[in-house]
Amino acid sequence: MTDTLLRSLRELLLNESEPLAGLLRKCLMLGAETGSEALRDWARKELNGYTVGGEVPEYRAIPLPPIAYDYGSGPLLNRGQTIDHRYLPDGAGRHLPEKLFFRQPIEELQRLAEQEHLTFGVRGLAYAQSVWNSQLDEFEGVMNLRFNVSGSTIAGILGQVRTKLVDLVADLTADTPLSELPGKDQVDAAVSHRLGDIYNTTIHGANGPVAIGAQSQAKAEGLTVEDVLRLLDKVQEMAVRTADAHQAELLDAVADLRAAVESDEPDTGEVVRKSGKLRAVVSKVGDATLAAIASDAVQTITDLALNGAFG
């Protein structure tokens, strides 16, 4: 059986329509048969996804894409604006990553590649929004900062995985007849040469690479309690100047949430409850810009609370 495994893998690789997941499962088998834990480890990570906090290969990275956002000025709300992270206001991009890495299992990446557009909210964007809003005029605000990525970009990552696999099998068959099984040392050398050392666990800092996957919604990372209070300041500032019928109720909800956050011993459950109260009031507000900024503030504070920022 094993003397045909390498031949089968080589022949399937020549078919561009052959699913990557099936090819990687054959790599699992080949690694088991040759005793190469390096090959099995790589194939397993590609199939199951790369764990949070673990190293992700460079071929799964893309340069930081433009930031999409919505901009409000008074009653007007303009959606779908974009800006390059290099042109954010001073200090706003402090916690943004240098690259986006995709941790997902290969089959999930395949599904993502079939979509026209993808949206990701990652760490550092909430902080950027907070700093940016602090520098705008009282009736202005930005909200819903996110990264938009095309499905074709994900397809490019899949293409690189396939190319890595082709190179790997080409190395294994260059000096070994297809009817024979390559040795463990030969397989390990090919893996090292084509894939590099991707097995060390590394945790990146807030301004380093960030991985899309299990933590792709962790938008509040990099924010402090002071940043949260600044978000509430912006909501309160706009609420004071609005003629909305729910102004008094909104101001009360903001004050209650601020008190919960500023408590000497803030309680996560209380912060979440007060955030929920503010969310309910915001849903009734007619001012589109105010409602959008308040909703974003509530979501950020809730994310921080659930991540243990308030005890």
Encode pLDDT of 212-235 as tens digits: 543 333 344 456 777 778 878 888
What is the residue type of 14? L
Read off the pLDDT of each residue in 236-240 and give the average, rounded to a whole number: 82
- Tell me the residue range of the domain where 45 lies: 2-56+157-195
Residue with the two structure tokens 């109260």: 277
pLDDT-based confidence at residue 69 (cuts at 50, 70, 90) = very high
Cα 265 from chain centre: 31
| Closest by CA position to 267, among listed 311, 220, 225, 304 | 311
Both 148 and 279 in one domain: the answer is: no
Is residue 84 within 8 A of residue 49, CB to CB? The reply is: no
Both 118 and 71 in one domain: the answer is: yes
Both 148 and 172 in one domain: the answer is: no
Is residue 108 within 8 A of residue 118, CB to CB? The reply is: no
Average pLDDT, the chain: 82
Both 120 and 247 in one domain: the answer is: no
Task: Note whether residue 200 is domain-resident.
Answer: no
pLDDT at 204 > cutoff 70: no
Both 64 and 148 in one domain: the answer is: yes
pLDDT at 152 > cutoff 60: yes
Both 8 and 84 in one domain: the answer is: no
Both 289 and 163 in one domain: the answer is: no
Other C-beta atoms lying within 10 Å of the C-beta of residue 232: 20
Both 68 and 135 in one domain: the answer is: yes
Both 135 and 175 in one domain: the answer is: no
Both 50 and 162 in one domain: the answer is: yes
pLDDT-based confidence at residue 108 (cuts at 50, 70, 90) = very high
Backbone φ and ψ for 59, nearest 5 degrees, come out as -70, -10
* 36-67 pLDDT tens trace: 999 999 999 999 999 877 889 999 999 999 99
| Closest by CA position to 93, among listed 206, 255, 261, 253 | 206
Cα 18 from chain centre: 28
pLDDT at 174: 83
Is residue 105 within 8 A of residue 48, CB to CB? The reply is: yes
The domain total for the chain is 3
Both 50 and 189 in one domain: the answer is: yes
Planar angle of CA 117, 121, 124, nearest 5 degrees:
140
pLDDT at 95 > cutoff 80: yes
Both 162 and 28 in one domain: the answer is: yes
pLDDT at 2: 47
Q: What is the DSSP letter of 59?
A: G
Residue 179: burial class (beta carbons within 10 Å; 0-12, 13-18, 19+) = exposed
Task: Note whether residue 220 is domain-resident.
Answer: no
pLDDT at 21: 95
Cα 298 from chain centre: 20
Is residue 145 within 8 A of residue 129, CB to CB? The reply is: yes
